[in-house]
Amino acid sequence: MVTTLLLWMLPVATFAEDEEAPVFENAEYNHQCFKCHGQKTYRYYNESMDREMKDRMNPYFIIDSALYYQSNHASFMCTDCHSPEYETFPHAGELRMEQQFACLDCHGGDETYAHYQFERIEEEFQASIHSTKHNEDFTCWMCHNPHTYKINARNNHNIKEVIVYDNNICLSCHADINKYQLLSDEENPSILAAHEWLPNQTLHFSKVRCIECHTEIDKEMLIAHKVCSKEKAVKRCVECHSQNSLLTATLYKFETFEKRNKLGFFNAAILTDHYIIGANRNYYLNVASIVIFGLTLLVIIIHAILRIISK
């Protein structure tokens, strides 16, 4: 399938004062592209007018080089994925119609990436509502910008950052009417209106990811990719607010909560970051509360018996 390459803008990343930007061998080569595609304006020589021109760069074709060199594809040269013909400027117009690579074009069948389970991800994606409803129009790149995407949940132990990063992927479509209508002529649904049944929306949106409720959980998968229809979304509070909270199989699965279970907390990983009513339970406290309740009841019964005997 031939598609036009669209580059989605993301917030600009900055490096900490004590953190140096990584240096890659391809940086000098890629700089030839970033001279234009990393700026809001670019210059070129117009032979017809016989003078140098300055023009605005299409905002969808601007790539933040700081984000690129923090991404998982940072070691690539631009022409590893794009046609070498882009080395010629001005670029030929038909190059915009070049076909994009899919994830499996590079990662499929490669033992180096076997632990990421790309083949299973592809199977789940093909069965998801995104794929079945939009067919070939919906690709990996609709969610994962190849110029900025980086593994987050597997490497980041800051749960709040994981939530913000992953939810922004969903909101890049569902809160952006321009991108949303590339796939649908329908009015972009209001996130707040669609979740009006959810109590305390602000708290839920900041503490859990969209995929916790909108994907089919597979404990063998690192990240679930089978997005379900809205009719199958999780709406029962007990799914999360219970001892067997589904969050331990999704958001907190990367935390080694089994190792922190020494004090009897079933969901110790959750307890580390948040208190979730019904989920943060402790075995020993449960036993203690039952013992105390039993002793209290026993004292009441003994007291009642003694009162009866005394009369």
The predicted-structure confidence for 170-213, as pLDDT tens digits, reads as follows: 999 998 888 888 888 888 778 888 899 998 898 899 888 999 89
Q: Which residue has the higher pLDDT, 140 or 18?
A: 140
Is residue 271 very low, low, confident or very high in pLDDT (cuts 50, 70, 90)? low
> pLDDT band at residue 17, thresholds of 50, 70 and 90?
very low
Reduce the secondary structure of 79-145 to three states and give it as a string: HHHCCHHHHCCCCCHHHHHCCCCCHHHHHCCCHHHHHHCHHHHHHHHHHCHHHHHHHHHCCHHHCCC
Binned at pLDDT 50, 70 and 90, residue 47 comes out as confident
Mean residue pLDDT of the chain comes to 81
Cα–Cα distance measured from residue 222 to residue 211, given in angstroms and rounded to the nearest whole number: 13
Tell me: the pLDDT tens digits for 61-114?
999 999 999 999 999 999 999 999 999 888 898 998 888 888 888 888 888 888
Closest CA to 90 of 27, 9, 36, 31: 36
> In the prediction, which pLDDT does 30 show?
94
For 109-166, write each residue's pLDDT tens digit: 888 888 888 899 999 999 999 999 887 888 888 899 999 998 887 767 788 888 899 9
Most confident of 205-209, 216-220, 263-267, 274-278: 205-209
**For residues 106 and 64, is the Cβ–Cβ distance under 8 A?**
no
Beta-ladder partners of 55? 42
Give 287 or 67, the one with higher predicted confidence: 67
Instruction: Select from 272, 278, 206, 274 the least CA-distant residue to 238.
Output: 278
What pTM, to 2 d.p., does this model score?
0.70
pLDDT digits (tens, 9 = 90+) for 226-266: 999 989 999 988 888 877 777 777 777 665 444 444 544 45
- What is the band of 276 on the pLDDT scale with cuts at 50, 70, 90? low
Is the CB of residue 87 less than 8 Å from the CB of residue 184? Answer: no
